[in-house]
Amino acid sequence: MIVHPELRRAARHAHRTLLAATLLQGAVTLSWLAQAVLLAFALAAIAHGDTGQLPWLLTGVVAVVAARAGLAWHQRRTAARAGALVRVRLRDELVAHLGRLGPAYLTEARAGAVRTTVVDGVEGVDAYVSRYLPQLIVTLAAPPLLLAAVALIEPRALTGLVPALLLALAGPRAWDRLLARRGKEHWDTYEALGADYLEALQGMPALRAAGAVGRSRQRLEDRSAQLHRATVAKLRISLVDTGITDLAIQGGTAAAALLACWAAASGATTATATYLVLLLAGECFRPVRDLSREWHAGYLGVSAADGIAALRTAAPAVADNGKLAAEWRTPPELTFEEVEFTYPGAGGAALRGVRFTAPAGRTTAIVGPSGAGKSTLVGLLLRHHDPRRGRVLVDGRDASSYALSALRRGIAVVSQETYLFHATIADNLRLARADATDEDLERATRAAGVHDEIAALPDGYATVLGERGATLSGGQRQRLALARALLSDAPVLILDEATSAVDERREADIVRELLAAAGNRTVLVVAHRLAAVRHADHIVVLDGGRVDAQGDHTALVAAGGVYAELVEAGRTHQGGLAA
Ligand SMILES: Nc1ncnc2c1ncn2[C@@H]1O[C@H](COP(=O)(O)OP(=O)(O)OP(=O)(O)O)[C@@H](O)[C@H]1O
């Protein structure tokens, strides 16, 4: 009888429907009671040889059985509706919260574990809330009423019934803590197995390339064995629990029967009362037996409850207290003011005293060696994290003063790791703007240099892509993602290594086309390869988390320093390739 606060909270999503399901469950229990009473009277009538009332009594039994069939059907439907409501609302809530947690959360949590919680865990909550909870309430309410009825007929029967009922209900409580702990251990192992499988499936090409498929399979086998052990440990406790309940039920029913027979044999009670006690004693334990059955269905929900609570209450990396709507009349200016940032748990700062302005409606390039802090800057602009010191200003206001969703809607990002979904090319593009026309799609794909390749496919824009765009080349995936970003109306466009998978010959052309298509948006281009950014209005050179220099290409080359070194390294690389 574990009632986890998270599950109680989930039940509130469908409290009316659940109340109806519980009342119907109560009505089903009452129908068993009515049947027992009618049968007791029928048996007593047979014992007395008084068969005149038998047809009415037996017709009553048939009517009760028919009514129960109808009530049980209605109860199951209502409970299923309540379960579906809870499932849908809880999943919505979790997915919305995941959106608030943003990508920063998934750098710590494992995607497969989150998937297991949101999919399997919520299914378990459905079973717990829709089947176990109504039965629990009925089990707590019905036996006391039945005991009161038995007390009125034959009080001596209570000496067998009450201790047995107390043992059946309270006995397994001694195991609750252990049961909850085993359930949690089982769930943690199940989550880890889900996470390992997802990672192994997604990383199959890397595993194969590294010749590590066998080792990965061994790891999955070990995890499966671990899950098996956790399942057996959980089952062992659960079976002890069920065993005690069964023992108490059998013992209590037998004791009540013996007492009732003894009372009848000694002439202390009538035949009707004896039959009534015999049948009602059985009914006292029916809800307990049903509860034991539903417990097994709802146990998964109890095991998953901690994980669901942890995900639902996980604190986002940034607070969403801003109210501004991010509706800029013209594309905004972006300013970094003495920005300092250290990743949680990292040894050193990723950015130190970064200060520069990306002018409104112009293109600013951010360049620098690997690890210089370029992507971190983009993350701060999108508020995946907030700076430890300093400010990021968008259109002159602190980024944190905008509502988070509005700020992120105003900034379209194409990063090195694009994400395309298992859907048609057109659907993937329309993620950015659901009402985009076919002409809008074509304009964007032309600017991103991918229209001709799409048009050459047998199904053109209706081609269904493999998961994560697996049926396209890396360069094609990136260019589709670029087209998608162009389609959005966001006034700020960020290209974070967005053309890294495109061959260098095409990169400069694509960037030129893109910037023309971007119109007067404020554009930030993060790039390793300088050919793509040399024509930017403004170039900021980052090194070791600091701004090393800024200006235009000519001035930066003339000044020497990191930028000139990067240009030189690029030339050497091209020379090496050409050689
Ligand atoms: N999630 C993280 N947790 C801890 N440290 C991080 C995290 N992400 C990045 N870093 C560290 O922050 C520093 C800046 O990383 P960042 O990704 O911003 O560099 P970058 O200039 O974009 O590099 P690249 O050109 O290789 O993509 C690096 O030292 C990196 O190791």
Report the chain's mean pLDDT, rounded to a whole number: 86
Q: Ligand 1: distance of its center to the CA of 549 in Å? A: 20
Q: Which residues are within 8 A (CB) of 61 and not within 5 positions of it... i.e. 6 or more apart? A: 35, 38, 39, 42
Name which residue sits closest to atom 11 of ligand 1, judged by CA.
350
What does the alpha-carbon distance between residue 393 and residue 122 come to, in Å, rounded to a whole number?
A: 40
Q: Which of the residue ranges 209-213, 261-265, 429-433 would you say has the lowest mean pLDDT?
A: 261-265
Name which residue sits closest to atom 27 of ligand 1, judged by CA.
370
CA 545 to ligand 1: nearest atom: 14
Q: Which amino acid is at 323?
A: K
CA 373 to ligand 1: nearest atom: 18
Tally the residues of the chain.
Answer: 579
Range 397-404 average pLDDT: 93
What would the 3-class secondary structure string for 250-285 be? Answer: HHHHHHHHHHHHHHHHCCCCCHHHHHHHHHHHHHHH
To test ligand 1's pocket by mutation, which of 354, 375, 382 has the most ligand atoms within 8 angstroms of CB?
Answer: 375
Range 174-190 average pLDDT: 84
Q: Ligand 1: distance of its center to the CA of 382 in Å? A: 15
Q: Ligand 1: distance of its center to the CA of 335 in Å? A: 21
CA 348 to ligand 1: nearest atom: 29
Flag whether pLDDT at 578 surpasses 60. Answer: no
CA 528 to ligand 1: nearest atom: 25
> Between the CA of residue 578 and those of 130, 571, 573, 574, 575, what are the distances in Å?
68, 10, 9, 6, 5
What does the alpha-carbon distance between residue 144 and residue 151 come to, in Å, rounded to a whole number?
A: 10
- Percent of the chain exceeding pLDDT 70 equals 96
Render 8-35 in DSSP notation, one character per residue.
HHHHGGGHHHHHHHHHHHHHHHHHHHHH
What does the alpha-carbon distance between residue 196 and residue 200 come to, in Å, rounded to a whole number?
A: 6
Q: Residue 402's beta-bridge partner residues?
A: 324
Q: How confident is the model at residue 501 (pLDDT cuts 50, 70, 90)?
A: low
> Between the CA of residue 259 and those of 153, 157, 246, 263, 281, what are the distances in Å?
12, 6, 20, 6, 11
355-364 residue pLDDT tens:
999 999 999 9
> Between the CA of residue 165 and those of 159, 223, 246, what are the distances in Å?
11, 41, 11
DSSP 463: P
Name which residue sits closest to atom 30 of ligand 1, judged by CA.
371
Give the per-residue pLDDT at 95.
92
| Higher-pLDDT residue of 47, 80 | 80
What's the ipTM?
0.97
Q: Which of the residue ranges 181-185, 345-349, 566-570 would you say has the lowest mean pLDDT?
A: 566-570
Q: How confident is the model at residue 576 (pLDDT cuts 50, 70, 90)?
A: very low
Name which residue sits closest to atom 25 of ligand 1, judged by CA.
370
| Domains contained in the chain, CATH given | 5-180+237-313 (1.20.1560.10), 319-410+492-579 (3.40.50.300), 417-489 (3.40.50.300)
Range 275-287 average pLDDT: 85
Range 51-76 average pLDDT: 92
Q: Ligand 1: distance of its center to the CA of 492 in Å? A: 22
| Higher-pLDDT residue of 111, 23 | 23
Render 305-328 in DSSP notation, one character per residue.
HHHHHHHHHPPPSS-----B----
Q: Ligand 1: distance of its center to the CA of 371 in Å? A: 5
553-564 residue pLDDT tens:
888 888 888 888
Q: Ligand 1: distance of its center to the CA of 212 in Å? A: 27
- Among 374, 391, 381, smallest CA distance to 340 is for 391
Q: How confident is the model at residue 574 (pLDDT cuts 50, 70, 90)?
A: low
- Percent of the chain exceeding pLDDT 90 equals 35
Q: Ligand 1: distance of its center to the CA of 107 in Å? A: 12
Six-digit token pair at 207?
Answer: 């595993």
The most confident of 80-89, 214-223, 412-421, by mean pLDDT: 80-89
What does the alpha-carbon distance between residue 512 and residue 532 come to, in Å, rounded to a whole number?
A: 8
| Higher-pLDDT residue of 245, 574 | 245
Q: Which of the residue ranges 280-284, 458-462, 498-502 would you say has the lowest mean pLDDT?
A: 498-502
Between the two ends of the chain, the Cα-to-Cα distance in Å is: 75
Flag whether pLDDT at 397 surpasses 80. Answer: yes
CA 378 to ligand 1: nearest atom: 18
Residue 73 CB neighbour total at 10 angstroms: 11
- Note the Cα 120 to chain centre separation in Å: 9
Q: How confident is the model at residue 470 (pLDDT cuts 50, 70, 90)?
A: low
Flag whether pLDDT at 154 surpasses 90. Answer: no
Give the per-residue pLDDT at 579.
39
To test ligand 1's pocket by mutation, which of 339, 374, 496 has the most ligand atoms within 8 angstroms of CB?
Answer: 374
Flag whether pLDDT at 455 surpasses 80. Answer: yes
Q: Which residues are within 8 A (CB) of 329 and not within 5 positions of it... i.e. 6 or more apart? A: none
Flag whether pLDDT at 230 surpasses 80. Answer: yes
pTM of the model: 0.75
Give the per-residue pLDDT at 83.
94
Q: Ligand 1: distance of its center to the CA of 523 in Å? A: 21
- Among 529, 559, 525, smallest CA distance to 540 is for 525
Six-digit token pair at 42?
Answer: 């029928």
To test ligand 1's pocket by mutation, which of 351, 367, 376, 546 has the most ligand atoms within 8 angstroms of CB?
Answer: 376
CB 425 within 8 A of CB 454: yes
Residues with CB under 6 A from ligand 1: 107, 343, 346, 350, 368, 370-376, 528
What does the alpha-carbon distance between residue 244 and residue 386 come to, in Å, rounded to a whole number?
A: 55
CA 376 to ligand 1: nearest atom: 18
Range 375-395 average pLDDT: 93
Flag whether pLDDT at 577 surpasses 50. Answer: no
CB 522 within 8 A of CB 493: yes
Range 487-493 average pLDDT: 88
To test ligand 1's pocket by mutation, which of 106, 340, 342, 343 has the most ligand atoms within 8 angstroms of CB?
Answer: 343
Range 188-214 average pLDDT: 87
